[in-house]
Amino acid sequence: MNEKDFRWEIFLQPYEMAVQSFIIKLEAIKKQHILKGLKNPIEIVTGRVKSPESILDKAKRLGISLEEIPDKIYDIAGVRITCKYMQDVYEVAEMIKNRKDLEVVEVRDYIKNPKASGYKSLHIIAKYNVETIDGQIPINMEFQIRTHAMHLWASIEHSLKYKFLRNIPEDIKARLFAASEAATALDLEMSKIKQLVESLGGEGIRRQPYPAEQLEIYPNNMKKW
């Protein structure tokens, strides 16, 4: 396979279809919870497909050939679910793992086992069959599930990696790690507040009305990470 002649638009299209499909599916689950007056664990659903440049950069770092990319790079298609509370992260993870249209390959729990940098998130790698005019195409895709605090930290760290070409200065790394610990403390405190509200009979907060625009789905307006 020649990199120069490789048809990226054809290769990436099934991944785009998968991401768009799961944005719709997860937004529908969110809407069902809201309409039925149930506790909704899903706050925000976004998705992205890696660019050819990003895929090739990762392949080079991992020593992966062009032919091996579909089998050995798992996050070409990515769906992110952001939640309010840490408990919601695991509730959404169970929803993903129990789906009949996915085959879960691996669960990476960076919340219970954070990366050395302080990164926290729960990743689920799964296989998904995309229906195309050429039949079913099995692809790997990754679901990232995290709280708002985890997402804020990860977004800043991600931008700094690019700014410093993956060589973040040690003093900034140390401050990022401290910020990660602060984010975890915030998540834990918010979870305690949630538990206290529920113990005081605050179930009514689950049934508050939502503006109609919050129930709209915009599958063609895919957010980028």
Cite the active site residues: 142
Phi-psi region at 167: left, alpha or beta (left = phi > 0; alpha = psi -120 to 50): beta
Q: Where are the beta strands (DSSP E) in the chain?
A: 44-49, 77-83, 103-109, 122-132, 135-147
* β-bridge mates for residue 80, sequence order: 46, 144
Alpha-carbon torsion (8, 10, 13, 14), positive or negative: negative
- Rounded to a whole number of angstroms, the CA Rg of the chain reads 19
Tell me the two tokens of residue 85: 């509370």
Q: Of 60, 66, 57, which Cα lies nearest the Cα of 11?
A: 66
Are 213 and 109 a contacting pair, CB within 8 Å?
no
Which pair of tokens denotes residue 160? 């700094």
